[in-house]
Amino acid sequence: MSSLLQRISRAFLHTVFPPKCLICGDYYDSRQTHAGLDASYPFSDLTELYFCEPCRKDLTPIVPPFCSRCGLPFVSREGDNHTCSECLLEKKYFRRARAFGVYDGSLMESIHMLKYRKKSSLARPLSALARETFFQFWDVGGIDLLISVPLHVKRLRVRGFNQAYLLIRSWAKKDGITLDGLTLCRSRWTEPQTTLSRPERRKNIKDAFSLRHSEKIRGRKILLVDDVYTTGATVNECARVLMKAGAEFVDVLTLARAV
Ligand SMILES: [Zn+2]
Ligand SMILES: [Zn+2]
């Protein structure tokens, strides 16, 4: 009953005060957003309160087939998941990496707005997408610790928050998973990776992370969380440090995946 009342009052409110899309800033009618989207679209309920229909259509959730290791979606939409050539050549310290969507369009835009323009209202829908992705690939019993990829204290001071931590803070505890934002730290300053090639990224990030209490890691099933997986150099380096400290395994969850 209360949910029906909530729906009615929400519909009324949205008629008088239509929601404003957090990405493009347009006012939109959230009651119509279902009509324009494919019924199979899996994340409709989560985003309709925050994003207009064109922006929601511009999200590209990652669907099989993708690399069973790094999660890279394959160009061919036929066949089963298998290991990509990159994962066959390069050592990966994590067990598997999964992401909500492709790093382009409105997903890229919303991550940039959160990170660089500090639009904190985006933390809510984006962390809801991260949570949804978590339950798509893992369950609470399968993970002991959620660890966000840390920022160097200098960058944290400038930005004011860690976007990876924001993606899990609101739900980890509620869902019964321990969130650890302190044990893994970024002890060495690194230049931004964005303009670097794949080998340069690997070199740039090497030995950038350390552990405050390595005994907290031993024997634990760890899920490492970040906003974007680009070449995987950052999460792979974190995973190397965690595995060296005796983690049972390290898996990776990111909101977006560059393709
Ligand atoms: Zn929009
Ligand atoms: Zn791969």
Are 26 and 118 within one domain? no
Asked, for residue 73, whether it belongs to a domain, the answer is no
Residue 101, domain member (yes or no): yes
Band the pLDDT of 7: cuts 50, 70, 90: confident
Domain holding 21, by residue range, is: 2-57
What integer pLDDT is reported at residue 38 of this predicted model?
55
How many angstroms does the Cα of residue 256 sit away from the middle of ligand 2? 15
Using alpha carbons only, what angle is made at residue 137 by residues 132 and 142, rounded to the nearest 5 degrees? 110
Distance 96 CA to ligand 2 centre (A): 9
Better-predicted residue by pLDDT, 146 or 36:
146
Instruction: Give residue 36 CA to ligand 1 midpoint distance, Å.
Output: 14
Residues 132 and 228 in one domain: yes
Instruction: Look at residue 114 and tell me whether its pLDDT is greater than 60.
Output: yes
Do 44 and 124 reside in the same domain of the chain? no
User: Quick one: angle between helices 233-244 and 198-205, nearest 10?
Assistant: 40
CATH number at residue 231: 3.40.50
Within a domain: 77: no
Residue 15 has pLDDT above 80, yes or no: no
- Based on the domain organization, do 42 and 165 belong to the same domain? no
Q: Taken in order 123, 129, 133, 139, is the CA torsion positive or negative?
A: positive
* pLDDT at residue number 44: 53
List pLDDT tens digits, range 232-256. 999 999 999 999 999 999 999 999 9
Judge whether 188 lies within some domain.
Answer: yes
- The DSSP bridge partners found for residue 82 are 67
How many structural domains are present in the chain? 2
- The pLDDT tens digits of the residues spanning 128-145 come to 999 999 999 999 999 999
What average pLDDT score do residues 142-165 get? 95
